Structure 1
Amino acid sequence: MVKEGKILKSGRQFTHLPDIAADLLLEGFPIELIYGDASNIPLQWVTDVLTQLHAKLRGRSKMLVLTVLGVQSTGKSTLLNTMFGLQFAVSSGRCTRGAFMLLIQVKEILKKELGCDFILVIDTEGLKTPELAKLEDSYQHDNELATLVIGLSDITIVNMAIENATEMKDILQIMVHAFLRMEKIGHKPSCQFVHQNVSDVSAYEQNMRDRKHLLEQLNEMIKAAAKMEKLNMEIKFSDIMEYDLEKNNWYTTGLWHGVPPMAPVNMGYSGKVYELKRYLFEFIRNCSLKRTPKDIPQFTEWVKSL
């Protein structure tokens, strides 16, 4: 509004706010990327904050983007908090609205190995939210959110609550459309499926059958999605994404050992999350040999075009 002359010079005190927000990001505070109540990205604000951040970093801002996606109350924020020692808000119900981004600084010794200066973690609101289900365009809202976060990310963690929840079918369908659109513009994000609350993590054979079933579902959905996107070709899920039945599926027990609030934290949960983190860092290391991560100006352009 200052630019458009709608606020007089006395309003120029607002122009230093992006600078403060950039400092907060550097200190490790999350900043809202998608405004949850209106489901839009305040482009001018986000652009100004990221521009200030780029200036503060003197142009050394190569970053890898990691996002988490899943149904409401499946423990997406808890997963990120456990993995990186963050403090995203957690509670039952809809505690994350929109999407928040948080910057994790990579230590000097790891910068060369991983090929990036920062990891940008994006925590999103749950899909299939009961509050929004009453609205006519709730499916479209989920579709837009999934397309946006998958489009921005280098690695997408798809969080599933129970092994074969029926609502996961809808989520997978939304995801598949998003991945198809990304493939059209040559963007191929990696995808990791995390199956939460699996009581018997050691049941390898049973889980293997579920993984094969998941891949069959993904292949069916990708064909249906290709028809809807008017792509006249036979296509499999592995065509749009490097997908490995063994490496891209992770099983964790529930966070609590018993019934909260008096229940202790399940040690097996953090152990499994640590394994996933180790694999992700190995994956990032291998990726850095093939492609250069985006810096902040490229990321900002990506946000605008998406």
Structure 2
Amino acid sequence: MVYLSSCGDKLAGDLSIEKSFLSLEVLWRNSVVCYHHTTVDTQNLIRKSHYDFIAAGFPFEIIDGDNFHFQQQFLTEILNEFHSRRILVISIIGPQNSDKSTLLSYMFGTLFGVREGRCTRGIYGSLVKINKLNQMIQNIFKKNLHDENADIDYIMLIDIEGLLSIEKGDKEYDRRLVLFCLAISHLVIVNMMGDINETLKDMLTLCADSLKQIGVNTTNQPIVHFVLNQKADPNIENHMEAIKKIIGDLKENKLAEVIDISLRTFHTL
């Protein structure tokens, strides 16, 4: 007992506030597990707390990246509260450490975790409320969705785990992530460091073809924008030849039959 106590004191002494990190998603996972095994009053409290958390724009876990588990019943109950709202779904995919979360946070002011050494695991969502008075944003969405009646109440941003992870090395897992995003999104951002490699081209083609065959996508043809990130020269005019080659390769793989691919969907940062 003395030995265990001294070990515990040593471990506690090694911890510091600066080095410690309490994962909020683990706390939410535990609350969801308890949700189905507790009193009605506690269930109402958990449900309301999670709804308030999502409505406030905080990132929430959709797919548990450690176990690839989807709390379908619980999330359905929560998100049904938004069923009368018009929601535009934007997903971002790309290799590990390509700063996907940082890009979303910069573009939309989200709170996806971007601290040093942290990588997104699984799939996260964040609701961004659109100000009805912001006519410019509304017009952009109407133009991209080809729907003049597309008054958007919220944007649902989907941030997924980085693809092509050396540690995980699971192409089937990556394929599921890409398939999920293409199936549910109105717009998908493919964020790349530099250029699009052959593995990602093949994955996009395979997933897009799968969607076409099984017909599960919620939109007719998701708009896909490619962001070539961390370019030494961000002037897109100086990268036209490389971009045209990428477009040619993607069209050669018949990806253009499923998603919209053109010069206007490529961007450099």
> Is residue 2:85 matched to residue 1:85?
no
Q: CA RMSD in A?
A: 2.3
Q: What is the CA–CA distance in structure 2 between the aligned matches of 1:170 and 1:94, rounded to whole Å?
A: 24
Give the aligned residue type for 1:128.
L
Q: What is the CA–CA distance in structure 2 between the aligned matches of 1:202 and 1:103, rounded to whole Å?
A: 32
* Percent of aligned positions that are identical: 27
Larger C-alpha radius of gyration, 1 or 2? 2
Secondary structure in structure 2 of the residue aligned to 1:132: coil
> Is residue 2:53 matched to residue 1:21?
no
User: How far is 1:189 from its partner?
Assistant: 0.3
User: In the alignment, what sits opposite 2:98?
Assistant: 74
Pick one of 69, 73, 89 that aligns with 1:40: 69
User: In the alignment, what sits opposite 1:104?
Assistant: 128
Give the aligned residue type for 1:191.
V
Give the aligned residue type for 2:160.
T
Contact 1:71 1:126 in 2 (8 A): yes
User: In the alignment, what sits opposite 2:227?
Assistant: 194
Secondary structure in structure 2 of the residue aligned to 1:24: helix
Give the aligned residue type for 2:204.
M
User: How far is 1:14 from its partner?
Assistant: 2.8
Describe how 1:28-177 pairs up with structure 2 within 5 A: 28-54=57-83, 59=84, 61-93=85-117, 95-110=119-134, 113=139, 114=142, 115-133=151-169, 138-163=170-195, 168-177=197-206
Give the aligned residue type for 1:172.
K
Relative distance call for 1:178 and 1:94 in structure 2 (3 A) is farther
Relative distance call for 1:16 and 1:128 in structure 2 (3 A) is same
**Number of residues of Structure 1 aligned to a counterpart in Structure 2:** 219
Give the aligned residue type for 2:64.
Y
User: In the alignment, what sits opposite 1:231?
Assistant: none
User: How far is 1:203 from its partner?
Assistant: 6.4
Relative distance call for 1:25 and 1:208 in structure 2 (3 A) is same
Contact 1:18 1:52 in 2 (8 A): no
Calculate the TM-score normalised by the size of structure 2. 0.74
Q: What is the CA–CA distance in structure 2 between the aligned matches of 1:171 and 1:161, rounded to whole Å?
A: 12
Calculate the TM-score normalised by the size of structure 1. 0.66
Give the aligned residue type for 2:71.
P
User: How far is 1:150 from its partner?
Assistant: 1.4
User: How far is 1:179 from its partner?
Assistant: 1.7
Structure 2, unaligned stretches of length 5 or more? 1-35, 143-150
Q: Where has structure 1 moved over 3 Å in runs of 4 or more? A: 7-12, 91-94, 110-114
